[in-house]
Amino acid sequence: MPINPADSPIFGALYGTDEMREAFSDQALMRRMLEVEAALARVQADLGIIPLEAAEAIARAAKPDVLDPSALRESARMIGYPVQGVAKALAQAAGEEAARYVHWGATTQDIADTALVLQTRQGLYLIEHDLRALVRALARQAHEHRDTVMAGRTFLQQALPITFGYKCAVWLASFLDHLDRLKELRPRALKVQFAGAVGTLASLGERGRAVTLGLARALELAAPEAPWHVARDGVVETASFLGIVSGCLAKIAGDVILLSQTEVGEVSEPAEGGRGGSSTLPQKRNPLGSTYVVSAARGVQALLPLMFGALVQEHERATGAWQSEQLALPQIFVLTAGALSQAVALVEGLNVDAQRMRANLDATGGLILSEAVSMALAEKIGRQDAHHRVQQAAHKALRENRSFATVLGEDPIVQRHLDHAALARLLDPAHYIGEAKDVVDRVLVRAAKY
């Protein structure tokens, strides 16, 4: 039974996805190591460093079934990583003549890091796939609710009217930025690692760089100018990107949780038989998906310090820092994938109650439009005096539990400058949403490019 719920057959559906767990599984890592070893042999054969027959034998033998899990476990226990066990098993399977050319000129970290990059590439592909699905879902909600007026809130209190489409567009804009970030990230994060014991490739003489370039081409990775075995900024940037994504997902989920409170009731999660139900309270439908988005994001954020700590690596091979990445990066990918999966389902099926939004706008008796009245009155009597009069009227309406419009109408200065029709228009939330619809339109134009 896994210790981490994200890897659990019971809790895994809440905290991750099967596809991401597979991408970072032990089995996937071993396959990637074999892929790197086979590609290395082919490149070296093309360059005349090892015999072509040996490279072909190595490539044929580079299949997962040549690996013995117990031998790999022992290799990891004795050496700290299973790479040597992989190389040994591959050599045995390739045959006596080819065996001597397995892992030629490489060191453990070359194979391990390049395998990690191949896993990362698959992980980022899965993340991008779900990011695009989320962008589509948010764009649809923004479009459908471009004109759905609701209360905008600051410090958890009603502040000014907005539209729900505007709220979705603000969420959406961040994820459009994330897709841009991902495009920019890939060249820095997806680099081959082939540098030998200390990064100089001395064992290959003058042919080291040619092997590095060839291996990069074979694996469709970038070729770095310098080895990065102790320069982990690309790995940490990847983790940081996932941390930002998961944090933005938690922002959406947190808003949904607040908007679905009984006293607010403006949105609710998709209805699915029994989902979010209480074991004792039949009436409840808890915001389950949002809850686990927030939970997963907190898990990612808790793991990021471990990745940042691993930036400090001694000399040309780290003692503990490199190794500690294994404790954090796969889980960061899995938790982010889980949060994304929950968020996509949440946004796609989100129930929006426009009538409740309107009712909540009216709950303060027009007080949410106090700024609109103040600004209109300021044009007649000056900002300071207008602000004071409207503030006094607002406090009186609250204190006496009366309509804001009624109290305003009793002020002779307000009466003189704002007649009944003008006040009615100023106190209509739909007439005071500023650029809300324009924001939606601008973001949707950008989203259409994705």
| 278 tagged catalytic | yes
| Candidate list 132, 188, 317, 446, residue with the active-site label | 317
From CA 56, how far away is CA 42, in angstroms rounded? 7
> Which own/partner pairs from 381-388 qualify as long-range (CB within 8 Å, at least 24 positions apart)?
381/413, 381/417
What is the DSSP code (8-state) at residue 46? H
- Token pair recorded at residue 437: 């619809």
| Helices and strands, counts by H and E, the chain | 20, 4
**Residue 201, phi-psi category: left (phi > 0), alpha (psi -120 to 50), beta (remainder):** left
Could you tell me where the beta strands, DSSP code E, fall in 44-191? Answer: 149-154, 157-163
Calpha distance 220→238 (Å, rounded): 18
Nearest in space to 292 (alpha carbons), one of 13, 4, 3: 13
Helix, strand, or coil here: 352? strand
Residues 170, 152: contact at Cβ < 8 Å? no
Q: Is residue 7 classed as helix, strand or coil in its secondary structure?
A: helix
Identity of the residue numbered 112: A
Q: Burial level of 259, CB count in 10 A (0-12/13-18/19+)?
A: buried
Residue that has been written with the tokens 């890939």 in this structure:
186
In whole angstroms, how far apart are CA 34 and each of 105, 110, 403, 438?
16, 12, 74, 53
350 phi and psi angles, rounded to 5 deg: -60, 130
Q: What is the Cα–Cα distance from 172 to 370, expressed in whole angstroms?
A: 29
Cα–Cα distances in angstroms (integers) from residue 334 to residues 235, 309, 344, in the given order: 15, 20, 15
Among residues 278, 383, 416, 442, the one annotated as catalytic is 278
The verdict on whether 32 is a catalytic residue reads: no
Active site residues: 278, 317
